[in-house]
């Protein structure tokens, strides 16, 4: 009898120890709304078929302008490369759960490096016409089991100006497909239900190369570098960032706790690692690579963008990691930030220090387990199995191929 | 719809500078040429002209006046940036009624509650930092940094026990304040044992009381002699006295010797946490060479190994202790200071005490300590170097990247033996007026004062002669090393002369 008692005690002790060991004092496990999904392995849970499109849709565009590989919209190119060599790829389209169309729609750059979205709708349309005529899988579901990576400013609305983007709406032929995009805002035309929000591309090697020793004390309270007024397009202010960035400047330019300026220093990454809070306000679009940089460098992101949908929102509990400030509360930003209890700040820092969090925001080449590519696949896997209702009866058509502005219908 | 045309053309124009093919797109959207559109265009042109004349956007004023019902008054301040002559920045509400730049009402189905368009820039009435919040922020920063230190700094930091021999003299405040400030910055627990030659004095006690550290102040019943040799010997005895205190009180921690004229870097205190039993660090030797011989400089060039002013452990390739670097005293042979106030180079001993670190349990009577440690009670105080504390010098652990990092500096600067200073550096009673003599170079010398000031003036004059004399007699000084000669041509500060007391 005594033996059983001691045995039970030993097992209970071991159980308690294992639980205690999980809680590494330095980092904390990230449990999203669906559990610890950041660590899920998508291999074996889904199969993706990659369409073989002629190179004028992808390779030739990249050859014309190799800058596309390093700007913040480069996720579409790296996703294609990742899928080509990933174990989830299948060469048999019959067994595929998802279909991927490799179009580099964001690679038409101005001399200054900004992508022009004016030809993208036509390009996408022409690609879909091609796949619907060469393979039967598009017509089978009218794209409901296809996904597209559209990392542009307002996703598949294909415009950089918000009003124009709202007016255009999501390209009609992509209405049923799953869109993997960086833009996310609740109740917005350009965000479909079921879209997967991803972080913008930030160069992982550059960030890794600029790490400073972890015991360097964090002495900057709030850090931000970027524009407050876009003098080229909105000189009076109030339009750019809905006036939020201008409000930050006007309210806190005299505050020594706020290290904010428009100058871009060479020590930008190093400074972020010495800051406690990093502001991530909206610009012309609500998303920016600052969020990725803040997470990688352990700086708590202060997100000033109403109704924004952050990357992998169903897997990462952003409320616990970042601080959300409404745009109308910007004048009270210092009160808000100083009234956060230190324990909460330390907890957020522990969550940020978790390596799986940092990995999930990056697009490393070659791909590593737990990185953003895998999170995209996890997101796609979570949407499986497809509902029977997406499969159309033969001859049934839901999408209107001639909807949209006249200019979109021209061949590409 | 009409508004949209107006607005589109306006916006398309504005984004021209950034995207070159903007207008191509906006024109493709088409312009409605109905009379209403023309009317709005004419109105727009008119307000543009008026704005040109007045200097601000007239159209916005009109809209502000028109949409008074929907505009809510808010306590926001008008921003004054961008040099507008009139401060009429209207606060556009989130309510979509009545203002120009808005999303189109026919898309209400999936419209965002967040409105696209021109928003006011919210500025609070007093956009300056609130001191209470600044203090809160600093406390947050401190907490974060403490946490960082806990996580990434030294694990389980041990208490540091600092042993400092000192005695009252003019330069004591200077040296002791330096050490005190360094110790106050140390982020670990600290005990400061100050051993004072000549007994405990108020002077020293008041100095170290300002530190706020835990101090143990003991006196040593011998006066500090005037020669460097004697001073080193006495300091050794005083340090052993300090070690005996560690033994008696069974203090637990890491013992370091901080001489009061040394300078310590903060990294030293982080590095010594790595010591196990007996460690050594490299000490930079700043032997103040008042007059370096030219021949010394030449000799330096001939040497194969450059003479580093460093004392400390030397390691071989596999980072094991191989020997000791000591300061080469040969160039200074015969020219070193003998007495504390000599104007010659003061040389360190072969191995200075300040470069050695002990684990306090080595000093205890009982307890497990390695057998190579000698019992300090058996020592007579007549030990030459700290290595005499151990039976086998090879057990010493080299710290600071195996002696490659110099973590503290040794320096000896002292004043004349007869140099006096006001007790606790408080001038009481206050000084009498001091008047410069006629021969000083100050341009606006006040006129000579009546005779009762004479005692002061009289004393000043010898000082002037004093300094000129030293300059000329320097060359003679090297050859003649008589005590009397050196005494007269010292140029040390003569503020003892200006005091009445």
CATH code of the domain covering residue A352:
3.40.50
Same structural domain for residues A215 and A342? yes
Which of B14, B101, B140 to probe by mutation at the A interface, max A CB count within 10 Å? B140
Tell me: do A65 and A176 sit in the same domain: yes
> Which residues in chain B are contacts of A407 at CB distance < 8 A?
25, 28
Closest C-alpha to B313, from B409, B395, B411: B395
Is B144 touching A (CB cutoff 8 A)?
yes
Quote the Cα angle for B62-B66-B71, to 5°: 110
The pairing of strands B406-410 and B282-285 is parallel
The CA-atom distances, in angstroms, between B225 and each of B234, B258, B339 are 8, 20, 9
Residue B125's φ and ψ, nearest 5 degrees, are -60, -30
pLDDT given for residue B99 in this prediction: 35
Residue of B nearest to A189 (CA): B110
Helical spans, DSSP H, in A135-253: 137-141, 162-168, 204-209, 244-252
Handedness of CA B26, B32, B36, B42 (dihedral sign): positive
Contact A243 B19 (CB under 8 A): no
pLDDT tens digits, chain B, 501 residues: what are they?
444 444 444 444 444 434 433 333 444 444 456 788 888 889 888 888 888 888 766 656 666 666 544 433 333 333 333 333 333 333 333 333 333 333 333 333 455 677 888 888 899 998 889 999 999 999 999 999 989 988 887 778 899 999 999 999 889 999 999 999 999 999 889 999 999 998 899 989 999 999 899 999 999 999 988 888 888 889 999 999 999 999 999 999 999 999 988 999 998 998 999 899 999 999 998 876 555 454 444 444 444 455 678 888 888 888 888 888 888 777 777 777 788 777 777 888 888 889 999 998 888 888 777 888 888 777 765 677 788 888 888 888 898 888 888 999 998 888 877 788 888 888 887 778 777 677 766 666 555 555 444 444 433 434 444 444 444 444 444 444 444 444 444 444 444 444 444
What is residue B460's predicted lDDT score, i.e. its pLDDT? Answer: 40
* pTM, to two decimals: 0.66
**Can you list the alpha helix ranges (DSSP code H) found in A228-281?**
244-252, 268-272
Query: Do A259 and A220 contact (CB within 8 A), yes or no?
Result: yes
- Vertex A209 angle, CA A205 and A210, to 5°: 125
| B-proximal residues of A, 117-156, CB under 8 Å | 118
For residue A26, with 0-12 CB atoms within 10 Å meaning exposed, 13-18 middle and 19 or more buried, which class applies?
Answer: middle
Report the Cα–Cα distance between both ends of chain B, in Å, rounded.
96
Q: For chain A, what is the domain count? A: 2
Higher pLDDT, A51 or B295: A51
Chain-centre distance for alpha carbon A105: 17
Asked if B197 and B165 count as a contact pair (C-beta separation under 8 A), the reply is yes
Q: Does residue A124 sit in the same domain as residue A56?
A: yes
CB pairs under 8 A between A and B: 176
**A60 and A114, same domain (yes or no):** yes
Residue A309 resides in a domain = yes
Q: Is A385 on the interface with B (CB under 8 A)?
A: no
Max Cα–Cα distance, chain B, nearest Å: 114
**B136:A306 CB<8 A:** no
Q: Is B92 on the interface with A (CB under 8 A)?
A: yes
Of B135, B146, B147, B137, the C-alpha closest to A352 is: B147
User: Domains of chain B (ranges plus CATH)?
Assistant: 156-291+308-424 (3.90.550.10)
pLDDT for res B112: 63
Complex confidence, ipTM = 0.85
In terms of residue numbers, what domain contains A374? 40-201+367-404
Nearest chain B CA: its distance from A332 CA (Å): 8
Q: What is the pLDDT of residue B108?
A: 38
Residue A412 located in a structural domain: no
Please say whether the beta carbons of B58 and B47 come within 8 A. Answer: yes
Cα–Cα distance list, A381 to A46, A347, A356 (Å): 6, 30, 19
Is position A5 within any domain? Answer: no
Residues of A in Cβ contact (< 8 Å) with B92: 238
Would residue A152 count as lying in a domain?
yes
Instruction: Choose the closest CB to B129 out of A219, A255, A276.
Output: A255
| Residues with Cβ within 8 Å of residue A19, at least 6 apart in sequence | none
Q: Do both A218 and A348 map to the same domain?
A: yes
Average pLDDT over residues A292-307: 94
Chain-centroid distance, C-alpha B489: 37
- A327 plus A221 within the same structural domain: yes
CA A363/CA A114 separation, integer angstroms: 21
User: Taking CB atoms and an 8 Å limit, are A163 and B148 in contact across chains?
Assistant: no
| A404 in reach of chain B (CB within 8 A) | no
Do A213 and A197 lie in a common domain?
no
Task: Please state, in angstroms and rounded to a whole number, the distance separating the CA atoms of residues B410 and B284.
Answer: 6
**Claim to verify: residue A176 and residue A250 sit in the same structural domain:** no
Res A57 pLDDT > 70 = yes
Taking an 8 Å cut-off on Cβ atoms, the answer to whether B144 and A349 are in contact is: yes
Give me the residues of A, 281-320, that contact B with CB < 8 A.
306-307
In a domain, A34, yes or no: no
Q: Is residue A1 part of a domain?
A: no
**DSSP state at residue A185:** B
Q: What is the rounded distance in angstroms from the CA atom of residue B230 to the CA atom of residue B219?
A: 18
- A98-149 tens-digit pLDDT: 999 999 999 988 998 888 888 899 999 999 999 999 999 988 888 889 999 9
Would you call B269 exposed, middle or buried from its count of C-beta atoms within 10 A (0-12, 13-18, 19+)?
buried
- Cα-atom radius of gyration of chain A, to the nearest Å? 23
Residue A26 pLDDT: 67
* Interstrand relation of B160-166 and B254-257 (parallel, antiparallel or unpaired): parallel
In terms of domains, do A328 and A179 share one? no
At residue A376, does pLDDT exceed 90?
yes
Q: A330 — contact with chain B (CB < 8 Å)?
A: yes
| Choice between B448 and A406, residue whose per-residue pLDDT is larger | A406
- Residue with more model confidence, B463 or A162: A162
Q: What per-residue confidence (pLDDT) applies to A259?
A: 95
Is it the case that residue A156 has pLDDT exceeding 60?
A: yes
Q: How far is B128 from chain A (nearest CA, A)?
A: 6
A213 and A194 inside one domain = no
Q: Is the pLDDT of residue A343 over 80?
A: yes
Contact A110, A95 (CB under 8 A): no
Name the 3-class secondary structure at B419. coil
Q: Is the dihedral of CA B64, A236, A271, A313 positive or negative?
A: positive
pLDDT digits (tens, 9 = 90+) for A229-261: 988 888 877 888 999 999 999 999 999 999 999
- Integer Cα distance of B209 and B400 in angstroms: 31
More confident residue, A76 or B500: A76
Residue A67 placed within a domain: yes
Q: Starting at the edge strand that comes first in sequence, how are the strands of the sheet with B310-315 ordered? A: B263-264, B406-410, B282-285, B310-315, B321-325
Q: Provide the b/e sequence for A87-111 (b: ≥16 CB within 10 Å).
A: ebebeeeeebbbbbbbbbbbbbbee
> Which of the listed ranges A206-220, A387-401, B379-393 does the model predict with the highest average pLDDT?
A206-220
State the virtual CA torsion across A212, A215, A219, A221 in degrees, nearest 10: 80
Q: Picking from A275-284, A389-398, B388-397, B443-452, which range would have the lowest pLDDT averaged per residue? A: B443-452
In a domain, A268, yes or no: yes
A76 and A169 in a single domain? The answer is yes
Q: What is the pLDDT of residue A287?
A: 93
Q: Say whether both A113 and A186 belong to one domain.
A: yes
Which residues, in sequence order, are bridge partners of residue A224?
Answer: A260
Two structure tokens written together for A402: 């001639």
């Amino acid at each position: 009898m005594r033996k059983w008692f001691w045995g039970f005690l030993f097992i209970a002790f071991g159980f308690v120890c294992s639980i205690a060991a999980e809680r590494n004092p330095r980092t904390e496990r990230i449990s999203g709304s669906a559990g610890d999904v950041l660590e899920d392995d998508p291999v074996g849970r889904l199969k993706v078929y990659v369409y073989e499109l002629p190179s004028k849709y992808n390779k030739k565009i990249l050859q014309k302008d190799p800058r596309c590989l390093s700007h913040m919209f480069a996720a579409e190119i790296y996703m294609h490369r990742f899928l080509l060599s990933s174990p989830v790829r299948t060469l048999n389209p019959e067994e595929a759960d998802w279909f991927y169309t490799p179009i580099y729609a964001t690679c038409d750059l101005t001399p200054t490096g900004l992508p022009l979205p004016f030809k993208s709708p036509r390009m996408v349309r022409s690609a879909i016409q091609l796949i619907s005529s060469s393979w039967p899988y598009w017509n089978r579901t009218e794209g409901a089991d296809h996904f597209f990576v559209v990392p542009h400013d307002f996703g598949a609305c294909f415009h950089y100006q918000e009003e124009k983007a709202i007016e255009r709406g999501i390209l009609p032929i992509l209405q049923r497909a799953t869109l993997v995009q960086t833009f996310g805002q609740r109740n917005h035309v350009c965000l479909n239900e079921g879209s997967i929000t991803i972080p913008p591309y930030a160069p992982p090697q550059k960030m890794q190369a600029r790490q400073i020793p972890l015991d360097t004390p964090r002495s900057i309270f709030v850090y931000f570098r970027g524009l407050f007024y876009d003098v080229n397009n909105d000189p009076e202010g109030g339009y750019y960032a809905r006036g939020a960035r201008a409000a930050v400047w006007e309210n806190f330019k005299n505050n020594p706790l706020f290290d904010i300026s428009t100058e871009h220093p060479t020590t930008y990454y190093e400074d972020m690692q010495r800051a406690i809070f990093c502001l991530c306000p909206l610009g012309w679009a609500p998303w920016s690579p600052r969020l990725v940089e803040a997470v990688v460098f352990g700086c708590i992101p202060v997100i000033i963008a109403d109704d924004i949908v952050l990357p992998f929102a169903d897997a990462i509990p952003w409320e616990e990691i970042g601080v959300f400030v409404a745009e109308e509360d910007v004048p009270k930003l210092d009160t808000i930030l100083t009234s956060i209890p230190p324990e909460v700040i330390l907890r957020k820092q522990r969550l940020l220090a978790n390596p799986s969090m940092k990995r999930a925001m990056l697009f490393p080449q070659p791909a590593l387990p737990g990185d953003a590519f895998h999170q995209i696949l996890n997101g796609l896997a979570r949407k499986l199995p497809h509902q029977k209702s997406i499969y159309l009866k033969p001859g049934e058509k839901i999408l209107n191929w001639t909807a949209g502005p006249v200019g979109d219908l021209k061949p590409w | 719809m009409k508004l949209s045309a107006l607005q589109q053309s306006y916006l398309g124009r504005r984004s021209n500078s950034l995207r070159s093919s903007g207008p191509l797109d906006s024109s493709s959207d088409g312009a409605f040429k109905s009379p209403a559109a023309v009317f709005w265009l004419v109105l727009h042109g008119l307000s543009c002209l008026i704005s040109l004349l007045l200097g601000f956007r007239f159209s916005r004023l009109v809209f502000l006046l028109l949409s008074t019902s929907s505009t809510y008054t808010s306590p926001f301040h008008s921003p004054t940036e961008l040099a507008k002559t009139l401060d009429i920045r209207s606060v556009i509400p989130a309510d979509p009624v009545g203002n120009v730049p808005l999303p189109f009402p026919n898309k209400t189905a999936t419209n965002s509650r967040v409105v696209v368009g021109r928003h006011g820039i919210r500025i609070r009435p007093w956009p300056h930092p609130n001191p209470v919040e600044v203090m809160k922020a600093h406390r947050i920063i401190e907490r974060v940094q403490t946490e960082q230190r806990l996580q990434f700094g030294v694990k389980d930091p041990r208490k540091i026990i600092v042993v400092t021999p000192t005695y009252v003299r003019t330069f004591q405040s200077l040296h002791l304040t330096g050490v005190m400030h360094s110790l106050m910055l140390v982020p670990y627990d600290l005990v400061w044992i100050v051993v004072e030659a000549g007994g405990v004095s108020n002077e020293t006690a008041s100095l170290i009381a300002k530190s706020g550290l835990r101090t143990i102040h003991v006196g040593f019943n011998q006066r500090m002699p005037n020669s460097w040799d004697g001073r080193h010997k006495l300091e050794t005895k005083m340090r052993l006295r300090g070690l005996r205190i560690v033994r008696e009180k069974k203090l637990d921690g890491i013992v370091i010797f901080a001489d009061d004229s040394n300078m310590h870097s903060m990294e030293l205190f982080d590095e010594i946490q790595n010591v196990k039993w007996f460690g050594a660090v490299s000490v930079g030797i700043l032997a103040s060479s008042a007059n370096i011989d030219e021949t010394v400089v030449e000799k330096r060039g001939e040497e194969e190994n450059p003479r580093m002013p460093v004392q400390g452990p030397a390691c071989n390739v596999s980072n094991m202790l191989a020997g000791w670097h000591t300061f080469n005293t040969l160039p200074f042979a015969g020219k070193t200071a003998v007495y504390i106030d000599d104007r010659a180079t003061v040389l360190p001993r072969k191995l200075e005490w300040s470069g050695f670190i002990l684990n306090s349990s080595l000093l205890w009577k009982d307890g497990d300590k390695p057998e190579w440690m000698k019992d300090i009670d058996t020592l007579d105080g007549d030990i030459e170097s700290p290595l005499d504390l151990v039976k086998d010098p090879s057990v010493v652990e080299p710290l600071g990247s195996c002696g490659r990092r110099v973590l503290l500096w040794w320096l000896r600067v002292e004043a004349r033996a007869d140099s006096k200073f006001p007790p606790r550096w408080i001038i009481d009673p206050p000084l009498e007026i001091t008047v410069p003599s006629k021969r000083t170079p100050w341009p606006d010398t006040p006129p000579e004062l009546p005779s009762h000031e004479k005692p002061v003036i009289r004393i000043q004059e010898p000082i002037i002669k004093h300094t000129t004399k030293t300059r000329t007699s320097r060359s003679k000084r090297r050859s003649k090393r008589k005590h009397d000669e050196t005494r007269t041509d010292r140029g040390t500060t003569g503020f003892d002369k200006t005091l009445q007391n």
